[in-house]
Amino acid sequence: MSDPHSAAAEAHEGPIKTPRQLIWAVVASFVVPIVIIVLLVKFVVMGDRVGAGTSAMDAQSVAQRIAPVARLELRDASDVTTLKTGEQVYQMVCGACHNSGAAGAPKLGDAAAWAPRIATGYEALLTSALKGKGAMGAQGGGDYADLEIGRAVVYLANQSGGKLEEPAAPAAPASEAKQ
C-alpha cells in the first residue's frame, strides 16, 4: 500500500518544483509587466515627431502657440460711435438660431411666426431678449449693451414684418458737447 501522506503531498504540489524554476518565475513576474508597460508607452507616444525640416519651431508657429487665450477690450458705454448696429449684433449673436429656426426660434423674415410676438410690442420683445425666453439664453449683461440688443430686436422684428422704431442712442454728455 502507498503512503496516504505522499498522495496528498503530490495533489497539493505546485508547478514550481526546483529552486531554479522559482528564480525564473520571480524574474518573469517582474520583467514581463515592465516590458508590457514599455511597449504601451511606446505605442501611446508613437506618432509624428517634430524634427528637422518642419515649421514647428519657426517664429510664427511659436508666436501662435504662446499667444494669449483672451483679450480685454475696454469700451466707453457713452461713446455712440463704438455701438454696433442692429444688423451687426444680429449677425454675431442672433443669426445662429434665427436664420435656421434652431431650438424653435422663429426664423428671420417669417411674418406669420413673428406677428404675435411683434404685437406684444418693443418692450416685451426687448425683455425677452435681455432676460431670455425658452431655449434662448439671456443676452443682457453680455458682450453687448442693452441698446445694441434693442437694435438687434428691432432689426429682427422689422425684417419679419414689423414697423418698430430703432431705439435712440444716448445723448452725448454736456461736457463733451462743449468741446
Burial classification of residue 95, based on how many CB atoms lie within 10 Å of its CB (0-12 exposed, 13-18 middle, 19 or more buried): middle
| Cell numbers given for 171 | 445723448
Taking only the tens place, the pLDDT of each residue in 116-159 is 888 888 888 888 888 888 878 787 777 778 888 888 888 888 88
Q: Which residues pair with 136 in a beta bridge?
A: 133
Task: Tell me which of 143 and 80 has the higher pLDDT.
Answer: 143
Q: What is the mean pLDDT of residues 30-47?
A: 91
Residue 34: predicted pLDDT? 96
CA distance linking residue 14 with residue 152, whole number of Å: 82
CA distance linking residue 107 with residue 101, whole number of Å: 5
| 31 has a pLDDT exceeding 90 | yes
11: confidence class by pLDDT, cuts 50, 70, 90: low
Collapsed DSSP state (helix, strand, coil) of residue 131: helix
Q: How much is the pTM? A: 0.51
Task: Tell me which of 135 and 36 has the higher pLDDT.
Answer: 36
What percentage of residues in the chain have a pLDDT greater than 90?
Answer: 11
